[in-house]
Amino acid sequence: MYAISLGDDGAELRPLEPWRAEEFLAHVDRGREFIGRFNGLPDIVTDLASSRAFLQAYADKTAADTGRMQGIWADDKLVGAVILRHLDVAQGTAEAGCWLEPAGVGRGLVTRAARVLIDWAIEERAVHRVDWWVVDANEPSIAVARRLGMTRDGVLRQSYLYRGERHDQEVWSVLAPEWRAARAAGEA
């Protein structure tokens, strides 16, 4: 196993694999209501079998090089994740996403973890464009997109049907040259 440090506070990014299904289910249960405000994960992961199946689906995506999921641990407890929902190396595109349970909120964990994941996609997999799709009411996720230096490309009006209600989705993105320039400016 490996872990990538997310800073001096001990937070880490680690793979989320099927053998962690019990821990993943406990995480989803702790954050079920909070996560479920904008994310359908709690409707999918409801028991140990569905937890294992969800993690297996991402293990299969990782093996096929079509997606990836990394867990965020703080104080040695799984508190969230960042994902590449879609990864198309041939087209050079990816869609990133995230979630946190309440114990992880307000610490910059998603921003730090997403930076690692996006940097990997751009530098290791030669992705040219990374998208970030977010329900327009999800202000914390929009704030992450801004902190990541993404540009709002537009709004897909009432495109997301969630729990019987239609929501607008904002599409944010960053291109590889923009990502590299921002990283170089931050290192200077």
Q: What's the first-to-final CA gap in the chain, in angstroms?
A: 33
47-104 tens-digit pLDDT? 999 999 999 999 999 999 999 999 999 999 999 999 999 999 999 999 999 999 999 9
In whole angstroms, give the CA distance from residue 184 to residue 182: 5
- The answer on pLDDT for 179 being more than 90 is yes
- The answer on pLDDT for 186 being more than 90 is no
108-165 tens-digit pLDDT? 999 999 999 999 999 999 999 999 999 999 999 999 999 999 999 999 999 988 888 9
Nearest to 167 by CA among 138, 142, 125, 130: 138
- Residue written as tokens 């979630």? 99
CB 134 within 8 A of CB 97: no
- Domain covering 4-187 in this structure, CATH number: 3.40.630.30
The total of other beta-carbon atoms located within 10 Å of residue 117's CB is 23
